[in-house]
Amino acid sequence: MTGLMAALIWLIVGILLVVAEVLSGDFVLVMLGAAALAAAGVSAVGGADLVSVLVFAATSLGLIVTARPLLKKRLQLGSDVRMHHEALLGGRAVAVTRVDEHGGQVKIGGDTWSARTLDGSVVEEGEAVTVVEISGAVAVVIAAV
């Protein structure tokens, strides 16, 4: 295979892998894509096919073993931000209706949620509660202390 054709194939594979990374988000495909781009560079300057394959293999291994863990760690530093229903845990709510172990409704922020008490107690309308768990679409609450 000619060097230019091999370089073009490596380039296309590299771009496809980098684009596919958007769907996976695990930083493996982008590392393979970068390695394919390195192999494309070797082919473009006239390197043999075997050399391109070896550059691809070595670069892939090097990036996956070294760069990927560092990148994942760097991106997970700010991951202690609670999202979705986890952000509601420990928060305050107000009973919209009477809430007991079988049901009721509370207002959390601006949203009305189905609710039940954790300990079987009864919370009257207008009383404050604390959200201790989200079970499906039901807020499990206790009377605020």
Per residue of the chain (145 residues), what is the pLDDT tens digit?
Answer: 677 888 899 899 888 888 888 777 778 888 999 999 999 999 999 889 999 999 999 999 999 999 888 888 877 665 555 556 677 787 899 999 999 999 999 998 888 999 999 988 899 999 999 989 888 888 899 988 7
Give CA–CA dist 89/141, Å, rounded.
Answer: 9
Displacement of CA 52 from its chain's centroid (Å): 34
Burial-class residue 22 by CB neighbours within 10 Å (0-12, 13-18, 19+). exposed
Give CA–CA dist 39/116, Å, rounded.
Answer: 60
